[in-house]
Amino acid sequence: MELLFILVTGLAVGSFLNVLIYRIPLEENIAFPASHCPKCEHKLAWWHNIPLVSWVTLKGKCAFCKTPISVQYPLVELITGGLFAVLYYKLGFGLEFISAAIVFSLLLALSMIDFKYFAVPDSLNLAAIAVAVVQPEFVEAFQNALLLAGGFALLRFYLSYFLKKEAMGEGDIMIAATMGAMLGLPGALYAIFLSALLAMLPSLLARDNKVPFVPFLALATLIVYLFEDFFAQLGALLYA
**Interface ranges with Zn ion (CB under 5 A):** 37, 39-40, 62, 64-65, 67
> φ and ψ at 177, to 5 degrees?
-60, -45
The nearest distance, CB 44 to Zn ion, in angstroms, is 9
Query: Judged by CB, which is closer to Zn ion: 23, or 201?
Result: 23
Query: Judged by CB, which is closer to Zn ion: 67, or 233?
Result: 67
The nearest distance, CB 40 to Zn ion, in angstroms, is 3
Contact 191, 223 (CB under 8 A): yes
Query: Judged by CB, which is closer to Zn ion: 37, or 108?
Result: 37
The nearest distance, CB 48 to Zn ion, in angstroms, is 10
The nearest distance, CB 62 to Zn ion, in angstroms, is 3
Contact 108, 72 (CB under 8 A): no
Residue among 115, 180, 114 at smallest CA distance from 144: 180
**Whole-Å CA distances, 116 to 110, 124, 174, 211:** 10, 15, 19, 10
Query: What's the CA gap between 5 and 33, in Å, rounded?
Result: 28
Query: Judged by CB, which is closer to Zn ion: 66, or 161?
Result: 66
Residue among 222, 19, 11 at smallest CA distance from 103: 222
Residue 177 is which amino acid? A
Residue 173 is which amino acid? I
The nearest distance, CB 66 to Zn ion, in angstroms, is 7
Query: Judged by CB, which is closer to Zn ion: 68, or 92?
Result: 68
Peptide bond connecting 74 to the previous residue in cis, omega within 30 degrees of 0? no
